[in-house]
Amino acid sequence: MTDFPDIPIDDISQDDIAQDSNVVAYDAATFRQSPHSLEAEQALLGAILVNNEAMERVQDFLTDEHFVNPAHQKIYLATKKLIEKGLIASPVTLKPYFENEDSLADVGGSKYLASLAGAAVSIINSAEYGQIIQQMAIKRELINVGTDIVNGAYDHSIDDTPQDLIEEAEKNLYALAEQGSSDGGFKSFGKSSADAVNLIEMAFKRGGKLAGKTTGFDSINRKIGGLHKSDLMILAGRPAMGKTALATNIAFNTAKAYRDDMALGISPEDSKGAVVAFFSLEMAADQLAARILAEQAALSSQDLRQGKLNQEQFNQLARTAQELEELPLFIDDTASLSIGALRTRARRLKRQHGLGLVIVDYLQLLTAAGRNKRGPENRVQEISEITRGLKGLAKELQIPVLALSQLSRNVESRDNKRPLLSDLRESGSIEQDADMVTFIYRPEYYHNLVQPDEGTPEHLIWMEEGEKLFGLAEFIIAKQRHGPTGKIDLQFEASITKFSDLPESADRLPKRND
């Protein structure tokens, strides 16, 4: 253990070090000490012993483990305990606890406490010294993480793939990056109520319509108050209902609102939009981008795929692409992505670009971390792990997560095809873990499947009913922790795969192109 004399370290000369037989000489070119600042530790501990109020400036982020010297760790911990009990922590009150303490014997025993008080800094500077100590500790931990990465890469293990090692490394690095920045543990009611009032104030300033991030649909925003941080929202539906189309609409609307707010000088915290990460496990990134371009340029997706465009339409597409070039929307189209890899990539985007919304299309295509070949009997357990992981991600990053989900075929066996919570595919944990469960349902789709023979009275009735259902979609809120359930009617333009708020007048519905 390094000796600590009863005088400040700054007074120790290089000659003293050279003459001390206990100090091992080393060549600075070939040996590097781990990051630490014994002077900062001594100065901070002295400040606390002289004025216990200094503890209030560092106790929220500084722990005893941040100190490099074991004696300093024990002094800090004992001092903190005395202060928390309402007692005075000073060299006199601490002396009985350290008279027989071996770790303090090497640095002068209980007399060392008095020398620390002599090295005290001003209480005004205590927070800065605390931050120096914490950052040195983080650097030491960073060295440990790097060592683990190297050792793991050299270790040839069947169970640990290179991707597993990368995910673990990024997880540890993210934990280090966030160390000291998150408020863990209990929060007083005063703090919690203040946070609630801030959210209510944001909604008040927006005319009572929005508390979270916008979906871009006024009718949905009024019902749910926007997409709330820490919430896991499920959007489910049978194939051909438009789940992906609605998700891309929301992704575009939220990202555009963020871009527009930034242009107006609104801070990211006050923006009604967000930086969006879209994990597309089913559709390629270029296909997803083409769909968004078609929606915003009001061009047929089918015509875009087949290149059936005239010059004016192509120019319109080019202008739209240029307008959306700086859109804060990031697409990851990696197939068979694991929940661990998804969380790692979301953390990275949070650090780099301030991620504010994650969309997953769709959760049944995700795999659980470290999954081997599993039978159907383990699929329920796997889906449970995935939904817990998505909910954990929402809470960890303090952002909303929107996950698309398939519905079981039970819907098709009923006369009424409108989905229910019991139709969620493969796991009840989806309903349990989600803060909100919504469905997208287009009655027009099922109506078109039962066309009677032409020329019959039934066909005339069918056509009349079809006119009423044309372009109509239902956004069903089946579960919502923070508000009511219910149904919202939307308009769907199938040719450009775009949802929008339903026009107030029926004669403003899109015309059928037969």
E strands of 214-307, at which residues?
232-237, 275-280
Q: What is the pLDDT of residue 24?
A: 41
pLDDT at position 402, please?
93
Rounded (to 5) percent helix, strand, coil in the chain: 55, 10, 35
**Per-residue pLDDT, 342:** 84
Topology (CATH) of 9-178: DNAb Helicase; Chain A (1.10.860)
**pTM exceeds 0.85:** no
Residue in the structure block whose two tokens are 């968004």: 292
CATH 1.10.860.10-classified regions of the chain:
9-178
DSSP string across 449-484: TTPPPTTSHHHHHHHHHHHHHTTEEEEEEEEETTS-
- Joined tokens for residue 310: 């005239």
Higher-confidence residue: 36 or 183?
36
* pLDDT, position 108: 65
- For strands 275-280 and 232-237, give the pairing: unpaired
pLDDT in tens, 10-52: 444 444 434 443 444 444 445 577 888 888 888 888 888 888 8
Q: How far apart are CA 340 and CA 350, in angstroms?
A: 15
**400 falls in which pLDDT band (50, 70, 90)?**
very high
Which helix or strand (DSSP H or E) is residue 192 part of?
helix 189-205
311 neighbors 319 (Cβ within 8 angstroms): no
pLDDT in tens, 225-284: 888 888 899 898 888 888 888 898 899 889 888 888 888 888 888 788 889 999 988 888
For domain 202-370+377-508, give the fold. Answer: Rossmann fold (3.40.50)
Spatial distance between the Cα atoms of 131 and 136, rounded to a whole number of angstroms:
8
Please list the residue range(s) of the chain that carry CATH number 3.40.50.300.
202-370+377-508
Percent of the chain with pLDDT over 90: 3
CA–CA separation, 42 and 359 (whole Å): 49
Q: What is the pLDDT of residue 378?
A: 73
Helices 285-297, 243-263: crossing angle, 10 deg rounding: 70
Separation between Cα atoms, residue 117 and residue 89, nearest integer Å: 11
- In whole numbers, what is the pLDDT of the chain averaged over residues? 76
pLDDT band at residue 4 under the 50/70/90 scheme: very low
